[in-house]
């Protein structure tokens, strides 16, 4: 069986920007690119890559997750360069020796990004279910307390 040619990442549309226009410096032609920002809590090989960005060639509406999600096809055997601006303690960009903003670059394979996103999503959903369980238990306690309060009011009225 042949290897899969593409690895598909699925992210919420809030993490994906499409058709960002820029002017080509050489030709003066207006072109577009896409940008994907990795969500908070994304960790690859022990390195926190939260808010790192990359520019995929294609971004499509998700086939399976609905209109609020985007599918990003990446070539399985091609490295993805995740970039993030380096900021000083005041939040200002640090400049390199050429006077341009310095970038922190992490090179990873698409499968590593997919695994990290899947792990991050499952941890997030697990935390949501724990919060829901806590809310359910709290509402049950309140519900039991209300019954007791109603019973005590009835006994006073009699």
Q: Among 56-60, 72-76, 112-116, 132-136, which stretch is predicted with the lowest mean pLDDT?
A: 132-136
pTM for the model stands at 0.75
* HSE-CB of 74 using CA atoms within 13 angstroms: 24
Written as one string, the DSSP assignment of 80-132 is EEEEEE-B-TTSPBPB-TTSSBPEEEEEE-HHHHHHHHHHHHHHHHHHHHHHH
Rounded to an integer, the average pLDDT of 72-91 is 94
Q: Are 120 and 15 in contact (CB under 8 A)?
A: no
pLDDT at 152 over 60: no
Q: Is the pLDDT of residue 96 over 80?
A: yes
Residue pointed to by tokens 């309140």: 142
Q: Alpha carbon of 124 to those of 66, 104, 119, 129: distances in Å?
A: 19, 26, 9, 9
50 and 38 Cβ atoms separated by less than 8 Å: yes
Q: Report whether 11 contacts 69 (CB < 8 A).
A: yes
- The whole-number average pLDDT for the span 35-63 is 94
The confidence score (pLDDT) of residue 144 equals 75
């Amino acid at each position: 069986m042949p290897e899969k040619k593409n690895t598909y990442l699925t992210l919420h549309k809030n993490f994906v920007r499409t058709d960002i226009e820029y002017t080509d410096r050489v030709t003066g032609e207006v072109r577009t690119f896409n940008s994907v920002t990795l969500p908070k809590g994304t960790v690859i090989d022990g390195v926190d890559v939260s808010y790192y960005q990359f520019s995929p060639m294609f971004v499509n509406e998700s086939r399976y997750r609905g209109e609020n999600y985007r599918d990003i096809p990446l070539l399985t055997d091609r490295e993805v360069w995740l970039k993030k601006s380096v900021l000083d303690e005041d939040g200002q960009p640090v400049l390199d020796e050429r006077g341009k903003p310095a970038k922190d670059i992490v090179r990873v394979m698409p499968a590593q990004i997919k695994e990290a996103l899947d792990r991050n999503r499952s941890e997030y959903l697990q935390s949501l279910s724990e919060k829901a369980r806590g809310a359910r238990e709290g509402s049950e306690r309140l519900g039991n307390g209300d019954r007791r309060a109603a019973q005590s009011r009835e006994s006073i009225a009699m």
